[in-house]
Amino acid sequence: MSRKKRTKKRKQKVSYHPLIFLGVVFLLFVSFVAGYKLAQWKTTKEVRISQKNTEMPSEENYQRRMPKEVIIPPRKIEPPPKAVVAVIIDDIGYTKEDAKRFATIDYPITLSIIPFTPFDTYSAKLAHKYNKAVMVHLPMEPNHSSEIIEKLEKRTKGMLLTSMKEKTIELLLEKETGRIPFAVAANNHMGSKFTSNEYKMEVVLNFLKHKGLFFVDSRTSRHSAVCKAAKSVGVAVLKRDVFLDNSKSLNYILKQLDQLAHIALRKGYAIAIGHPHLTTYKALLVGLPKLEKMGIKVIPVNEIYEGMLEGKYEGCFQKARIAKR
């Protein structure tokens, strides 16, 4: 009996690959659509916000958004000084230390420099650097014997003598003023005899006038003819009110500063002359702030001269034209 061959049916395996592929495609499609819608929604929202911001604000909102007004406090206006003073320090030029000490003091004092001293030009430049007014301290003949004058001439070059002719005086003045740059004025070093000679002082004042400088009479003589000479030449001059340091005592110099204040308060201004002593320097450090507290302002000597020309202050023969406030 022949055995029938049984045909075995093989079970067919189901493939899931197409389903997975379709699923992935579907998910990608959904993600794309969702992303597109989300981007579209964001854009619409931004446009709405932009439109909202461009709307004209109401007056109330406008006032709210405006920055608050900045209130600037008024500037403190200092009252005018009750008086002014100038402090001239003579005999500068012999040492650098003298020039440095007084040039760097924290007040606008004035430095008067002797020509032909070892550090005359140096001192003038240093004083100018620190905004100090500069003067030429002109050596002039004192009332002494010929022997003493001869000794003084050896120590102090360029002394103006009453025996000199006009041309000689002018040539010497040209050399002396040429040694001191930035000078605004001149005053006499010694000179009790020379300043008493009206004609010789006219020569000096005429020269200074053409140089654009003015003169301060140190008043080393009660017989000074400076004011008379100034009137003849037609120039304004100033004169010293107080010598600070005839004594080198600190207390004495402080008392002299008090005297300076008294004179300034009486006539509106005053001029003091001192010398480059250490005690004078210390006294100024103590006394000048005290003057400031009294309402007295320290100014360069040229500002007093300008005030005199404007009629604020009296000069040798000029009367003040502007009433005191």
- How many of the other CB atoms lie within 10 Å of CB of 146? 7
In order of their start, the domains of the chain are 84-309 (3.20.20.370)
How much is the pLDDT for 77? 76
Better pLDDT: 105 or 9 = 105
Residue-wise pLDDT tens digits, 144-180: 766 676 666 666 788 999 999 999 999 999 999 999 9
Residue-wise pLDDT tens digits, 1-25: 444 445 444 445 555 566 676 666 6
How much is the pLDDT for 136? 99
How much is the pLDDT for 253? 99
Pairwise CA distance, residues 163 & 137, whole Å: 20
pLDDT score of 36 more than 60: yes
For the segment 77-102, the average pLDDT, to the nearest whole number, is 96
Instruction: Give the confidence band of 321 by pLDDT, cuts at 50, 70, 90.
Output: low
pLDDT score of 182 more than 50: yes
Helix (H, G, I), strand (E, B) or coil at 213: coil
Could you tell me if 65 and 57 are in contact, meaning their C-beta atoms sit under 8 angstroms apart?
yes
How much is the pLDDT for 325? 42
Better pLDDT: 168 or 75 = 168
pLDDT score of 43 more than 50: yes
Better pLDDT: 238 or 18 = 238
Q: Which of 198, 199, 189 is nearest to 152 (CA)?
A: 189
For the segment 200-220, the average pLDDT, to the nearest whole number, is 98
- How many of the other CB atoms lie within 10 Å of CB of 23? 11
Residue-wise pLDDT tens digits, 59-69: 655 556 656 66
Better pLDDT: 5 or 281 = 281
What are the angstrom distances between the C-alpha of 202 and each of 78, 174, 222, 240, 310? 42, 16, 18, 19, 23
How much is the pLDDT for 323? 46
Pairwise CA distance, residues 196 & 239, whole Å: 14
How much is the pLDDT for 24? 67
Better pLDDT: 145 or 312 = 312
